[in-house]
Amino acid sequence: MNRRVWLTIGLAGGAAALGGIGLSIVHTKSHDAGATVDSLWTQHFERPDGGTLSLAPWRGQPIVVNFWATWCPPCVRELPEFERFHGAQRDLGLRVVGLALDSAAPVRDFLARVQVTFPIALAGDSGFGLVHSLGNVQGGLPFTILINRDARVAWRKLGETNVEELTHQASRLT
């Protein structure tokens, strides 16, 4: 065989080996995300209108958690989509929660203009560490996760979503 063939075989083998390492990293991150989801049930988030929100009462139920901020244009655009989705899914037992990576005042001002009926709470700046641990290594917003009845992340989405995509992903849980 000539040198070019050996080089091609070597590169293909190296790529396959790196692919295996990549799969192992993805699996590890998925496992780590499960551990973080477990910690979600013990956290208490401040609500912009006072009080706190705990996700613990909803453990064992499917829940969509959307991380957003008032300063994030795609987040602001998609919030009405979550409201439509929440309205359609509310009686089916699927919960929707918005966690704002923001402070209380801008969230209160925003919610005075845009009506939502699902719970909104504040993850604040520490929310960036939370989204990172849930699999969003870029730390971008919006970021959405769907947690199944087994309290595992069934779906993640970095970027804007819509009611059709949310409905499709939720339908895969049954």
Looking at the predicted structure, is the pLDDT value of residue 4 above 90?
Answer: no
Number of H helices, E strands in the chain: 5, 7
pTM above 0.85, yes or no: no
pLDDT tens digits, residue range 13-41?
A: 443 333 333 332 233 334 445 556 887 88
pLDDT tens digits, residue range 101-123?
A: 999 999 999 999 999 999 999 99
Q: What are phi and psi of 155, to 5 degrees?
A: -160, 145
Starting at the earlier edge strand, list the strands of the sheet with 95-100: 52-54, 44-46, 120-122, 95-100, 63-68, 143-147, 153-158
* Domain 40-171: CATH architecture, name and number where available: 3-Layer(aba) Sandwich (3.40)
